[in-house]
Amino acid sequence: MVKILILNKKVIQELNKKLRYWRVTMEKGDVGVVGLGVMGYGFAMNFEDKGYTVSITNWEKDILRKLKKTETNRNLIISEDLEGFVQSLDKPRKIFLFVKAGKPTENTINKLIPLLDKGDILIDGGNTHYKDSINKTNEIEKYGIYYIGMGVSGGEEGARHGASLMPGGSPIAYKQIELMLSDIAAKAPQDDEPCVTYIGPKGSGHFTKIVHNGIEYGDIQLIAEAYFIMRYSLYLPVEKIASYFKEWNAGELNSYLIEITSKILSTYDDKTGKPMVDVILDRAGSKGTGKWASQIALDLHMPLSVTTEAVFIRYLSELKDQRIEASKILTSPNIDEASVNVEEYVEQIRRALYFAKIISYAQGFALYSRANEEYGWELDNYKIAKIFRSGCVIRAELLDKIANAYQMNNKLSNILQNDYFSSVVNSYQKEARTVVADSIKNGVPVTGLASAIGYFDNYRLEKISANLIQAQRDYFGAHTFERVDEEGSFHHKW
Ligand code: 6PG
């Protein structure tokens, strides 16, 4: 009986995929979406496009009334209250929450729980902190209701047409939503594989998203520095810089963020006719996930320096008023006016950027491995790299290479130990050093690029200066040290 019902549903979903102008309507919703902001709305329509009947609701009722009028030929069940919404769903209910993280999500969950049945599944697709995600799972699963904490990347476009999805929680619950997630996820252009995989137990999905965002912060910062050098060291016009980013996007730097940077730099303000980038105030916002990534790295004793510098530079950018004052009293160095071959120098910047990008991804993926040791998870860096290949903000050609590296060796402690990556960073370090040294000499800020070199230089050395740190700690605080020639813990009477 149940089998026939599932079969019928599938047939109906297939029909709906094919029929554009009329719809086979089922009585119950296959999936529910609470919260019709850009993400929730995009997910609801994406599900509907794929043949699902979607129950939707929202705190703000106007949008529901509008949809009732405009979306008449879509398979939507629109409810103005949570009770009606819950009743409209087929069991076990699969409910996606796209309500603002924090209090609003909490309120929605508290109101939903008494209306749900054992075995129903709540999927939180917001940028929730992974520790909250763990707590919520514990709380909700006491009622026999499943909670999946799902990282989602790709913004409005991803939600609507395919995002990268990072679900973590009960594998039993995941199995029941696996197919629908595969249907709505982005598909990697290389092999059409859906950008979704079971990430691991409670909290791990949102953890994966936080580190993704840390990498996103690093990428954005490094790209901004490359732009800044071209603009203010090489004095290139904005349209020329746009064309270099476009060229770079055709090579090993190919990525969504390089692509949009080229498009951004080719866009002009209607009001002033100036490049858009010149009418935007240099004060960067941040919603907190980059900070969370850095906090996690600090807690787990892992260097995530490119992300962390990126967070700090956003904070420094907030000090606009102080910077205006400082610019009147703090001076630039004498600029080295050495003439360079622009084409050659731009190629050096490109290599410096690729070098630093590799370091930043190396740091992020090493953090996943560290989390496995800490939490007993089995985050699979191969699978994570694969689901980042499309849909998400950090999608890049590089991710295929990262996936290959972990496929060859799933115990790889750091991608810099892989042949491809070690050979690139060994060879591109020269250009990275030239660009960073020149910029520092000329007072052009390259904090992200420099931190990548700093990480590389410490990571590649068998011996670093930490022995002197240990000696000082032992001198002033008897904190003890290990010896190079004997096991144990020692203190010296200095
Ligand atoms: C994504 C993004 C997204 C994030 C924005 C804003 O993967 O789609 O990471 O989730 O919220 O990029 O982040 P900031 O405001 O912190 O820059």
Tens of pLDDT, residues 167-222: 999 999 999 999 999 999 999 999 999 999 999 999 999 999 999 999 999 999 99
Determine what percent of the chain is predicted with pLDDT higher than 70.
95
Residue 340 has pLDDT above 50, yes or no: yes
20 pLDDT band, cuts 50/70/90, is: very low
Beta partners for residue 335, in sequence order = none
Amino acid 173: pLDDT: 98
Q: Is the CB of 290 under 6 A from ligand 1?
A: yes
Task: Categorize the per-residue pLDDT at 7 as very low, low, confident or very high, splitting at 50, 70 and 90.
Answer: very low
DSSP character for 271? T
Span 215-274, pLDDT tens digits: 999 999 999 999 999 999 999 999 999 999 999 999 999 999 999 999 999 999 999 999
| Residue 22, pLDDT above cutoff 50 | no
Q: Out of 160, 289, 388, give the residue to mutate to test ligand 1, the one with the largest number of ligand atoms within 8 Å of its CB.
A: 289
Whether 449 has a pLDDT exceeding 50, the answer reads: yes
Does 393 sit in the ligand 1 pocket, CB within 6 Å?
yes
Q: Is residue 471's pLDDT more than 50? A: yes
CA 268, 271, 274, 275 torsion: positive or negative?
A: negative
Report CA(152)–ligand 1 centroid distance (Å). 10
**DSSP-assigned states of every residue in 188-215:** -TTT--BSB---BSTTHHHHHHHHHHHH
Contact 148, 121 (CB under 8 A): yes
- Which token pair is 97? 């929450």
Question: Residues 368-376: what's their mean pLDDT?
Answer: 97
Secondary structure (3-state) at 68: helix
Q: Please say if 216 is a catalytic residue.
A: yes
**H or E segment at 354?**
helix 342-375
- Ligand 1 centre from 286 Cα, in Å? 8
* pLDDT score recorded for residue 12: 57
DSSP 489: -
Supply the DSSP symbol for 417: G
Reduce the DSSP state of residue 33 to 3 states and report it: strand
Strand pairing class (76-78; 146-153): unpaired
Query: What is the mean predicted confidence (pLDDT) over 397-424?
Result: 98
Determine the atom of ligand 1 nearest the C-alpha atom of 393: 7
The whole-chain average pLDDT of the chain stands at 94
The residue from 216, 225, 309, 431 that is catalytic is 216
The Å distance, Cα 24 to ligand 1 centre, comes to 37
Indicate if 131 belongs to the active site: no
Quick one: pLDDT at residue 338? 76
